[in-house]
Amino acid sequence: MYLTLISIVKSIFSSSHSKGVVAPASEENEDHVYIKGNPDDRGPCPGLNALANQGYLPRDGKNLTLAQVETALKNGLHMTPLLATSLTNALKPLLRKDKTFDLADTRRHNVIEHDNSFTRHDLWQGDNYTFQPDMLAAILDDADGGPITLKSLAKSFKRRDREQKAIGAPKLPLKLWFVRVLNIAGSINTAALPKGRVPREVFEQLFAEERWAGVILENQKTRSVATLLYNAVVLVWYVVTGP
């Protein structure tokens, strides 16, 4: 299950996973100091990994609940309840009988992980969850020395499509094309920085160190479904009209 327009609509009519939860996602380490976790206990999503590395989620990345994730998204990244619930609902297929999951479980293909990632190889290549530094370097190169923006990410989007075609990778269905758009637009939406410009070092910190920069965590601007969809539309515009 991915974050899609349909899943967002369903979330409008579903209950919040964190309703009635008073305690923060992780009661320990409330100073949220960054401590890099064991890579064996992490998944392909740098955002979730970073929340664990900084104590918004249990640091061992194990036995997580949907309520913990939803609370971390709201408290740590200032997401609206609807956006936090929509993103959290995508994790439901990973739940065990006791309603928990581990971050390592997010490696499961076609739940939140998918092929044609910006920073990880495809499943058919044998490793769909290990961060690839050279792929991050290519994203930074696409920004031509400036900050990461929707325009530069559109350039990366099209470059990755060309690379996938060149190596004979299976073509993604149309549904996943839109999922990719929402995921990529989500990086700009979550940062919520002025003019949609994410400093290179902030972007690199998230993907290479799996660490949310203070400029993002301290930014109280609300991240909503509306702002996500706006960023997605702008990204598509650049993909369609760009070189």
Q: What pLDDT digit, counting tens, does each position of 62-106 carry?
A: 999 999 999 999 999 999 999 999 999 999 999 999 999 999 999
Query: What span, in angstroms and rounded, lies between the C-alpha atoms of 101 and 91?
Result: 9
Q: What pLDDT digit, counting tens, does each position of 158-187 carry?
A: 999 999 999 988 888 887 888 899 999 999
Instruction: Quote the pLDDT of residue 29.
Output: 44
Query: How much of the chain, in percent, has pLDDT values that exceed 90?
Result: 72
Pick the more confident residue, 111 or 161. Answer: 161
> What six digits make up the tokens of 235?
């990204």
- CA angle at 183 for the pair 157 and 36, rounded to the nearest 5°: 105
Query: What span, in angstroms and rounded, lies between the C-alpha atoms of 55 and 176?
Result: 31
Q: Which of 2-6, 29-33, 59-63, 215-219 has the lowest mean pLDDT?
A: 2-6
pLDDT exceeds cutoff 60 at 12: yes
As a whole number of Å, the end-to-end CA separation of the chain is: 32
Query: Could you state, in order of their start, the residue ranges of all structural domains in the chain?
Result: 1-114, 133-243
The amino acid at 68: Q
pLDDT category of residue 24 using cuts at 50, 70 and 90: very low
Mean pLDDT of 147-158: 98
